[in-house]
Amino acid sequence: MMSLKDNATKILVSCLDAKPEETVLIVTDDSRFPIGQALYEAANELGCEALLLTMKERTVSGEEPPKSVSEAMKWADIVICPTAKSLTHTNARIHAVKNNARVATMPGITEAMFENGAMTADYAEVERLTEKAAQLLDHASTARIEKDGCILTMDLRERNGVRSPGVYKNPGESGNLPSGEAYIAPQENSSQGEMIIDGSMVGIGKLDSPLHVKIKNGKVHEITGEKSELLSILLENEHNATLGELGIGTNEKAILSGIILEDEKVFGTVHIAFGTNTSFGGTNKADCHMDGIILKPTLYLDDVLVIKDGTFVIS
């Protein structure tokens, strides 16, 4: 089995194309320090100018890091964020990318995930399918998810698909690691209907029983199911309640574990997220970004069948 540092080296070289003399900033928190330290040591051994910043764990996904961290992120060539809560949908990441940093966020990453599952995928194939799915999102005007008698529709007009294949080698590219998803920001007031979330949910983890969400004019107005009380932040204001993302998992090696970083990449799943979407083409800035995974969904884009009960019908 490869060590943490061996895997960190693989990530830096294969996914981020780290070169000697480049500045590599690792942003971590107390709970993920061993992973941050492994990345720091690997970057040093590659001849990079490595920096390691450790902060207090954020309260929720999407919460901004301290200003000093945000500023440091803007001036690095590569930024890697192994953290408990997600920095993916923060202004800090947006500004770093605008300054041409290559950014890999790793929310919820565990040491075991460095050695198994999505990190072991054939990333050339992940990249191919992610591009295909993203192109379909680019050109779609509508999306419809169907599951267990529930139907949820959304308007995708004037929004583009985002590729997150796990390979970020050019200035200004960013996404999750491990990865494998294509996603989009629906029009914020457009989503209508109801849906079953039965894989996992940020704020709860892997679900023992399904959640049932009802959405009207783009906003959640009811969430029921076991532990749904843990999602009360979504009902605190209309920004938190906004359906801000539709995503498609494209990594055949990803394993559903309750850790959203990998769960949302599981092949043949879709996910919806509530809260902030300003980092990928939306207009909603909230106090959170919380994803829910839908297993074995049926997905139509412009009434064209893309996924049937969890099986891709595109190739």
Q: Parse the chain into domains and list their residue ranges.
A: 4-115, 120-312
Mean pLDDT of 143-160: 98
Percent of the chain exceeding pLDDT 90 equals 85
Structure confidence at residue 2 (pLDDT) = 67
Report whether pLDDT(128) > 90.
Answer: yes
**Domain 4-115 in CATH 3.40.50.620:** no
Structure confidence at residue 28 (pLDDT) = 97
Q: What is the overall mean pLDDT for the chain? A: 95
Structure confidence at residue 6 (pLDDT) = 87
Mean pLDDT of 86-100: 95
* Cα separation values, 84 from 27, 146, 215, Å: 11, 31, 28
Looking at the DSSP assignment, which residues form a beta bridge with residue 294? 270
Mean pLDDT of 227-245: 97
Q: Supply the Cα-derived Rg of the chain in whole angstroms.
A: 18
Q: Which residues contact 155 (CB under 8 A, 6 or more apart)?
A: 141, 142, 186, 187, 190, 191
Report whether pLDDT(226) > 60.
Answer: yes
Mean pLDDT of 61-73: 95
Report whether pLDDT(168) > 80.
Answer: yes
Structure tokens at 45: 């051994």
Report whether pLDDT(1) > 60.
Answer: no
**For 171-227, where are the E strands, in sequence order?**
174-176, 181-184, 192-197, 200-201, 205-206, 211-216, 219-224
Longest Cα pair distance anywhere in the chain, in angstroms? 56
CA dist 166 and 169 (Å) reads: 10
CA dist 290 and 276 (Å) reads: 9
Report whether pLDDT(53) > 90.
Answer: yes
Structure confidence at residue 261 (pLDDT) = 87
**SS3 of residue 77 by DSSP:** coil
Structure confidence at residue 119 (pLDDT) = 84
Q: Cα 230 vs. chain centroid, distance in angstroms?
A: 20
Q: Which of 2-11, 130-139, 169-178, 235-244 has the lowest mean pLDDT?
A: 2-11
**Other C-beta atoms lying within 10 Å of the C-beta of residue 309:** 11
Report whether pLDDT(45) > 80.
Answer: yes
Q: Are 123 and 99 in contact (CB under 8 A)?
A: no
Report whether pLDDT(227) > 70.
Answer: yes
CA dist 264 and 6 (Å) reads: 25
Q: Are strands 142-147 and 150-155 parallel, antiparallel or unpaired?
A: antiparallel
**For 46-160, where are the E strands, in sequence order?**
49-55, 78-83, 102-107, 142-147, 150-155
Structure confidence at residue 14 (pLDDT) = 86
Q: Are 53 and 23 in contact (CB under 8 A)?
A: no
